[in-house]
A = this chain, B = another copy of it.
């Protein structure tokens, strides 16, 4: 066990569970009467509550974004590279709030939680949640924490969709929206990959139509396949090539179907590990939230028109080798923001790691991110 944690870490952190009793009406038409949200916070809220930053997580993320839960935790939170003292989201200046989304599987109410109506896990009866619903639940979280306006709402990928939606659902409650490696809506190819993941899960014999909890079962193989497909799309062809190439585990071909290439055993390992820690119904729900997100739906595809209500400033970042949500998808967003006469800063960051690049600090990414949030901090006197 190390004696010390890195100096630029937020250090030891503890999640907190907040209970909400006011019913929340969801986009699907259903209502959740009450729910829990698990949050972590880093830094200190200033006296006028103007320095709060909300972190929105992506498909497989959760509230543990920075720091360590224990001295012997193997890895820090998932975005520790960007959150901490002196880091782009500087916890010496900002009060950072990180929440596990509704429907998640890390403590917030989700499909694995007990349905008060039945006394059993919700399973497939848990409502399908949308990005708009998340923003609604996050607004109640802000109320609870006494935050009238976020200095910034920040997210990558699916998290970026939440940041964008915040600017539309609550224009007065967001000063800045930081939308990283994201898209204003999924393409047919994006939906297709999600559909493969869902089919893998729902066709696993251990899925039991989503009631696997009642059977003391887990659709491990389906989750593993879903994660394997997802993982391929998070990396670039080049970065997989760099990392694994065609390297074999043994010296020669085995002429069988075992994991012979390094990339095969890596994917199997990633898939297996994921299947032990993630809830299958949550995976379905998160992918559907991705599919459904389309703020321009109600304006007949006119994103600039959909953006009209927004009052915040935007920072949009994309990564050159991200083929899941390519720079072109960010540019669609930026072009619509410009058409809608919004303030927007945009950078395409040159990085070889595909979609995963938003989790990996590189000089230009860190510089742009830091400079922008420094300006935000100055604005709010932090």
Contact A246 B200 (CB under 8 A): no
Query: A193–B237 contact, CB under 8 A?
Result: no
A228 interface contact, C-beta 8 A: yes
Q: Which residues in B have their C-beta under 8 angstroms from that of A186?
A: 246
Closest residue of chain B to A252 (Cβ to Cβ) is B297
Q: Of A14-22, A52-60, A161-169, A284-292, which binds chain B?
A: A284-292
The reply to whether the CB of A344 lies closer than 8 angstroms to some CB of chain B is: no
Contact residues in B for A188 (Cβ distance below 8 Å)? 237, 240-241, 243-246, 261, 263
Total count of chain A residues near the partner, CB < 8 A: 52
A193 cross-chain contacts in B, Cβ below 8 A: 232
Give chain B residues whose Cβ lies under 8 Å from the Cβ of A198: 257
Q: Is A187 an interface residue (CB 8 A)?
A: yes
Instruction: Decide yes or no whether A267 CB sits under 8 A from chain B.
Output: yes
A340 neighbours in B (Cβ, 8 Å): none
- As a 0/1 sequence over residues 256 to 273 of chain A, the CB contacts with chain B under 8 angstroms (1 = contact) are 110101011001100100
Task: Please determine whether A267 and B195 come into contact, CB atoms closer than 8 angstroms.
Answer: yes
Interface residues as binary, A200-222 with B (CB distance below 8 Å gives 1, 0 otherwise) = 10110100000000000000010
How far is it, in angstroms, between the C-alpha of A380 and the C-alpha of B6 when the chains are bound?
Answer: 74
**How many angstroms from the CA of A284 to the CA of B158 in the assembled complex?**
34
With an 8 A cutoff between CB atoms, is A360 at the interface?
no
Q: Cα distance A294–B224 when bound, in Å?
A: 29
What string of 1s and 0s marks CB contacts (under 8 Å) between A216-256 and chain B? 00000100110011001001010011011110000001011
Assess whether B225 is in contact with A225, with CB atoms less than 8 Å apart: yes
Inter-chain contact A257/B288, CB cutoff 8 Å: yes
Q: How far is the CA of A108 from the CA of B29 in the complex (A)?
A: 55
**Contacts A257-B284, A261-B291; A232 near B192 (Cβ below 8 A):** yes
Can you add 4 more A-B contacts, CB < 8 Å, to A196-B267, A199-B228? Answer: A188-B245, A191-B263, A196-B225, A196-B232
